[in-house]
Amino acid sequence: MPALEERAALTQEINDFRKALPGNREVNAPKFIELCSLIGRAKALYGGDIKAVPTLTFNHLHFLVDVAFADDTLPSISFQACQFHKKVTFTHVTFANDLAISASHFHRSTEFSGCIFSDRVNADDVQFRSSVDFSRSKFSENLYMRKAEFRQEARFAYCLFSRNSYFHDTQFHSQADFSFARFFSVWFNNALFKEATSFSGAQFRPWAPQFHNAQLHHDTSFAGAIFDAYEHEQDWRAYRTLKQKMSEVRAQEEESFFFAAEQRARRRFRPHYYPAWSDYFTRNGFRLAGSRLWDALTTLNPHTAVARSSFNTVVSFFYDYVSNYGQNIARPFLWWLLQYFTFAGIYLGHANQIASSASWINSSLAREPLLASVLSLQNSLNPLALFSREPLVTVTSLPMFLVAVTQAIASIVFLALALLAIRRRFHKGSE
């Protein structure tokens, strides 16, 4: 750690640098070289402990030359309310501490590609009047970009946002590219996307992205994006908003996806006042289960908004598991085939309790396998045949009758879910 006199001398050098600027704010080529030397002097003064360097403040300056840093490590720097009239380039730069560029205006193309932001980035009210590229950068701490304005293309492809990212009230006037970015938690509330926007391949975990009251462009893509956020109360509300946004632009497939995500988040989120499943296996578990069952049977009109229900949770899980909330067409058909062969095997093991009036079945050399197969097919495609006067194949015992009824119900459920999935997938327009 440098002596107090050395730190005071560095501060005085920075103050003298500002006073020597034309108009106390214009940075030309010679002055930019001097600014870089001040940064180098600060790094040298603190040796290897670059994070200990106090914030170097260069606020309210007008940069009249290109600003370029490459493959370097910079201490905490503040460029708040600055005017960058030329190109700004930071490539593969590590910011060891805070970076502040709030209320600054970047008039030419700006690049922060491949950078590592080790601490907080404050970019509130920043304006990028030309294209800006943050591709493949890593934000280790919070990013504040509220009320920012992007006049030209904004690229955040392959970025890693390890902490919270705030884009409240931000305006994207041209294309916005967040493809394959990874978000810990991101807010786009009240944001405006005027042109094509891509979140293709992006990952959102463990918090769902928030787009409340945002205006999305019709050409917004979430193709291949991964949403793995279902544990927090805000998650299902975030998915509900995205579902509504997709409904507004008649994006049926995306709307179905976010409907499924909303239902999954509702099911998995457990309020602090709601008992966990493990609580029912404790000492007072039986009393707890009885109390909840009594409340469910005696409460005519529940007064809790968005109240949880154990039965609804079970149905939601079944709907998710069987058909992914109507998104997966093949899965219910596969379940239907599985039940057909499973029950055919059960009937084959109890062929002595099955009878048929059809001569072509009774005279067959493979009578028992044929009986089992036909009965399983009959129950799967024509469940009411069990109650007809002369069915093609019938059962002769009550246990087998109950098994056949169970298969008939299962077959109806799987076929209904398959048809519902087809309708949801190819339905014209938004439901």
Query: Where in the chain are the domains?
Result: 1-141, 143-272, 330-426
Q: Which residue has the higher pLDDT, 299 or 234?
A: 234
The 3 state secondary structure assigned to the chain is: CCCHHHHHHHHHHHHHHHHCCHHHCEECHHHHHHHHHHHHHHHHHCCCCHHHCCCEECCCCEECCCEEEECCEECCEECCCCEECCCEEEECCEECCCEECCCCEECCCEECCCCEECCCEECCCCEECCCEECCCCEECCCEECCCCEECCCEECCCCEEEEEEECCCCEECCCEECCCCEEEEEECCCCEECCCEECCCCEECCCCCECCCCECCCCEECCCCEECCCCCHHHHHHHHHHHHHHHHCCCHHHHHHHHHHHHHHHHHCCCCCCCCHHHHHCCCHHHHHHHHHHHHHHCCCCCCCCCCCHHHHHHHHHHHHHHCCCCCCHHHHHHHHHHHHHHHHHHHHCHHHEEECCHHHHCCCCHHHHHHHHHHHHHHHCHHHHHCCCCCEEECCHHHHHHHHHHHHHHHHHHHHHHHHHHHHHCCCCC
Phi, psi of 69 (to 5 degrees): -135, 140
Per-residue model confidence as pLDDT tens digits over 202-247: 999 999 999 999 999 999 999 999 999 998 889 999 999 999 999 8
Per-residue model confidence as pLDDT tens digits over 248-293: 888 888 888 999 999 888 887 765 445 555 555 666 666 766 666 5
pLDDT at 158: 97
pLDDT at 6: 74
Tokens representing residue 184 in the block: 């810990």
pLDDT at 149: 97
Per-residue model confidence as pLDDT tens digits over 380-395: 888 888 788 778 888 8
The pLDDT of 60-68, averaged and rounded, is 94
Answer positive or negative: Cα dihedral of 194, 200, 203, 207. positive
Instruction: Provide the phi-psi class of 154: left if phi over 0, else alpha when psi is between -120 and 50, else beta.
Output: beta
Structure pTM? Answer: 0.79
If one counts every other C-beta atom within 10 angstroms of the C-beta of residue 365, the result is 6
How many Å apart are CA 252 and CA 128, to the nearest integer?
34
pLDDT at 272: 47
Q: How confident is the model at residue 365 (pLDDT cuts 50, 70, 90)?
A: confident
